[in-house]
Structure 1
Amino acid sequence: MFATPAFAQATGAAGAGSAFASFVPLVLIFAIMYFLLIRPQQKKVKEHRAMVEALRRGDQVVTAGGIVGKVVKVGEDGIVEVEIAEGVKVKVVRQTITQVMNKTEPAAA
């Protein structure tokens, strides 16, 4: 009914092998998290940065607020002027553009 003292005692002192064996699952969890969460997010951020840097006048874009418009002016200070209706222009921060719907073709030189 009660555990005898022989069963209650530890089997022996923990060696270096068991310390390494208990560290392996932690390393595996970190590796899985890196490949499933961190790496894809970094790739997505890199693609978004490239898309925002490639904005040109005439591109049809969608902002983070869901506004669809055409790029009228691309400023160097991170501000983009977007025309959302005939004669209605708004200034938005470049990073808030989430999608480029229609790309304009580069002008032939």
Structure 2
Amino acid sequence: MQDLMKFAPYLLMFVVLYFFMIRPQQKRAKNEKEFESSLKVGDKIITKSGFHGKIVELAETSAVIETMSGKLKIERSAISMEMSAASVKKA
């Protein structure tokens, strides 16, 4: 019984760490994957580096976006889910 009580704080610490850090991070990664796979031609997006554009082509892992200065080829993972969603809400 005393041995179990020695490990209780560590177990409690792991449970807290899991529910406040690991689980939300996994949920966010899952949401970002779903967002990337739901992109379609014509969607207006904002990249993580701040470029605004409209998707004109989609490939498996990349996208071509049209900006005011021309077309850019970017990785799908470079598209910001939060900023793109906020941009759509404003418009």
Q: Assess same fold via TM > 0.5.
A: yes
Give the match for residue 91 of structure 1.
73
TM-score, structure 1 as length reference: 0.73
Give ranges in structure 1 of 5+ residues lacking alignment.
Answer: 1-16, 103-109
Show structure 1 runs of 4+ deviating over 6 A.
none
- Greater helix content: 2
Task: Determine the C-alpha separation between the residues in 1 that align with 2:29 and 2:46.
Answer: 17
Equivalences, count = 84
Give the match for residue 63 of structure 1.
47
Equivalent in 2, 5, 8 of residue 24 of structure 1: 8
C-alpha deviation, 1:44, in angstroms = 0.4
**RMSD of aligned residue pairs (Cα, Å):** 1.2
Give ranges in structure 2 of 5+ residues lacking alignment.
Answer: none
Matched AA of 1:89: K
TM-score, structure 2 as length reference: 0.86
Structure number with greater Rg is: 1
C-alpha deviation, 1:79, in angstroms = 1.1
Give the match for residue 45 of structure 1.
29
Give the match for residue 81 of structure 1.
64
